[in-house]
Amino acid sequence: MNVSDKSHVEMLVQIARLLATLDLDDVLWQTINLTTQTVGAARGTFFLLDEHGETLQRFIAAQNYDPETRQIVSRRILEQGLAGWVMAHQQSALIDDTATDPRWVVLDAEKELLRVRSVLCVPFFVEGELRGVMTLEHPQPRHFTPEHLRLVEAAAHQAAASLRNAQLFDRVQAQQRQLQAVLDGISEGLLVLDTELCVRLVNPAALRLFGVTEATVLGFNLEVLAEQLANPFYARLAEGVKAAIQDAANNRFEVRDNLTKRDFVVNVANVSAKRAAEGGIVIALNDVSSLKDLTRLKTHMIQMASHDLKNPIGVLRNYLDVIRAEVKGGVLPDPMFLENMYKSLARMESLVVNLLDIQRAEDAEPLKREPFDPYDLINASLEDMMPSARMHNQTVVQNIQPNLRPIKGDFDRLREVINNLIDNAVKYTPQGGTISISAYAEDERFTFSVKDTGYGIPADQQAAIFQPYFRATQASTAHISGTGVGLSLVKEVIERHGGQVWFISKEGQGSTFGFWLPILT
């Protein structure tokens, strides 16, 4: 075996090793480089066809063309040049001298780089289908021999299997990327479970909705997750999925995550497979919390209204009966009776106001955008709320910046906002406390806040404070009645004005609730 034979065998061995390479670029580059080196070519080029043998998928040249030139070069060579000829005839070509062979197209860009005189061009077949063409070039005429041609054909034959593997892998990867993009893009939560109900895939929306990370759920069975995350929601999900699998007509169910306070409509699709181990269950979770919130809110309000209105109405009726009898008998009514009647009436009033507010929020009544003096707003609100603070023996401190500029917005809705905040401060502060009101303008923002010395809100309940009908549960405020609606309305009105609400609170020490609005001119 002479030196050249040895290097030929070595090349074929190395090309055979490419079978283990799944990267398409790698396979192509190494095939070009190995063959170019072995036959002493100056340059190698590869045209790769897609799996249908049609569109050009890749063009690799040892030469560094810019992408535009590369496209022009490819098209011309394929239409008029040697690679096109080899593709059309599905057979190799050996050109001893390009000067005398019309199949060789001379390109402008090429002239400067390499004057090609001899060429070797072989087709690549994968399972009998043409998949590409490799061209090897040299500046001297008659550089390549028929032996070179056979060798490169053998290399092409060897490399074809690696090419097919890499192409398949490429396609699988592309599909995976597509799938990933779809999964990432959809707003519904999506889980893929295996037949054992272990989470095999979870999309970002699902992670967001569940408030978990991929590592906490991936690979775990739903029932195990219920225990691990101490959240029975996953067990209920598993139950629903099992029922859905057993009865295809039942592939939709509702489930609530009490931890995140989200309601889901779940659709289950059972993906059957030839082998049980490959089967899977796709579940799509649609977050319907806001719809549910609204329905729950309505139900809650109706229950509240019927219950809480019945009580004060009864009280009023009883007192009125007594007073009527007394007045008939010429006796003046007891002032305590009147005071209690007044309190009952106030409770009814606040309930009715809340009901109306909810209705209005639902109707999304458009906001007015009228300029007004912020002092008028604060004074109107104080007028509304002062009697209640006085009844609680609370001191109201005002800290209002002078010369505030007019602001634009819906005066009446903002008055309700401030009323709600002051009302809460009064309600959630024991007798004798202090309510401090501040207002100032800075950086084109009007800021208003109410600070109280009241019960405060437990830290673990603060996150939910603006949610509709949420009420903090703590012993100190258990006696205070409310609907849990006020703050959600405050937030909505302020945000619709382009502003933001905020609060700070410490249990047992007090709270400050505030908002800012953009000063519109």
Interface positions with ligand ADP (CB under 6 A): 420, 424-425, 428, 452, 454-457, 465, 470-472, 477, 482-488, 511, 513
Output 18 or 297, the one with its CB closest to ligand ADP.
297
Output 221 or 474, the one with its CB closest to ligand ADP.
474
User: How near is the Cβ of 212 to ligand ADP at its closest, in Å?
Assistant: 27
- Give the separation between CA 484 and CA 472, rounded to whole angstroms: 9
Sequence-ordered strand ranges (E) for 195-348: 199-202, 252-257, 262-271, 280-287
Tokens standing for 124?
């690549």
User: How near is the Cβ of 460 to ligand ADP at its closest, in Å?
Assistant: 13
User: How near is the Cβ of 171 to ligand ADP at its closest, in Å?
Assistant: 56
User: How near is the Cβ of 384 to ligand ADP at its closest, in Å?
Assistant: 15
Residue type, 431: Q
- Give the separation between CA 23 and CA 66, rounded to whole angstroms: 23
User: How near is the Cβ of 509 to ligand ADP at its closest, in Å?
Assistant: 10
User: How near is the Cβ of 508 to ligand ADP at its closest, in Å?
Assistant: 11
User: How near is the Cβ of 309 to ligand ADP at its closest, in Å?
Assistant: 15
User: How near is the Cβ of 416 to ligand ADP at its closest, in Å?
Assistant: 11
396: Cβ contacts below 8 Å, ≥ 6 apart:
382, 386, 389, 434, 435, 436, 437
Helix, strand and coil content of the chain, in percent to the nearest 5, comes to: 50, 20, 25
143-180 residues labelled b (16+ CB within 10 A) or e (exposed): bbeeebbebbbbbbebbbbbbbbbbeebeeeeeeeeee
User: How near is the Cβ of 462 to ligand ADP at its closest, in Å?
Assistant: 9
Confirm if 348 and 313 have CB atoms less than 8 A apart: yes
Output 226 or 421, the one with its CB closest to ligand ADP.
421
Q: Is 219 left (phi over 0), alpha (psi -120 to 50) or beta?
A: left
Output 409 or 486, the one with its CB closest to ligand ADP.
486
28: Cβ contacts below 8 Å, ≥ 6 apart:
46, 48, 58, 60, 163
- Give the separation between CA 285 and CA 252, rounded to whole angstroms: 10
Output 416 or 452, the one with its CB closest to ligand ADP.
452
- Give the separation between CA 166 and CA 136, rounded to whole angstroms: 22
> Closest Cα to residue 155, out of 302, 357, 310, 16?
16
Which helix (DSSP H) or strand (DSSP E) does residue 73 occupy? Answer: helix 67-80
Which helix (DSSP H) or strand (DSSP E) does residue 44 occupy? Answer: strand 43-49
Output 93 or 457, the one with its CB closest to ligand ADP.
457
Output 253 or 470, the one with its CB closest to ligand ADP.
470
User: How near is the Cβ of 264 to ligand ADP at its closest, in Å?
Assistant: 25
Output 162 or 511, the one with its CB closest to ligand ADP.
511
Output 372 or 469, the one with its CB closest to ligand ADP.
469
Output 30 or 477, the one with its CB closest to ligand ADP.
477
Inter-CA distances, 297 with 257, 290, 303, 309, 351, Å: 17, 10, 10, 17, 14
- Give the separation between CA 290 and CA 239, rounded to whole angstroms: 24
> Closest Cα to residue 116, out of 100, 98, 103?
98
User: How near is the Cβ of 465 to ligand ADP at its closest, in Å?
Assistant: 5
Bridge partners, residue 502, by sequence: 514
Output 47 or 513, the one with its CB closest to ligand ADP.
513
Output 225 or 465, the one with its CB closest to ligand ADP.
465
User: How near is the Cβ of 453 to ligand ADP at its closest, in Å?
Assistant: 10
Residue 123: half-sphere exposure toward Cβ, Cα within 13 Å: 21
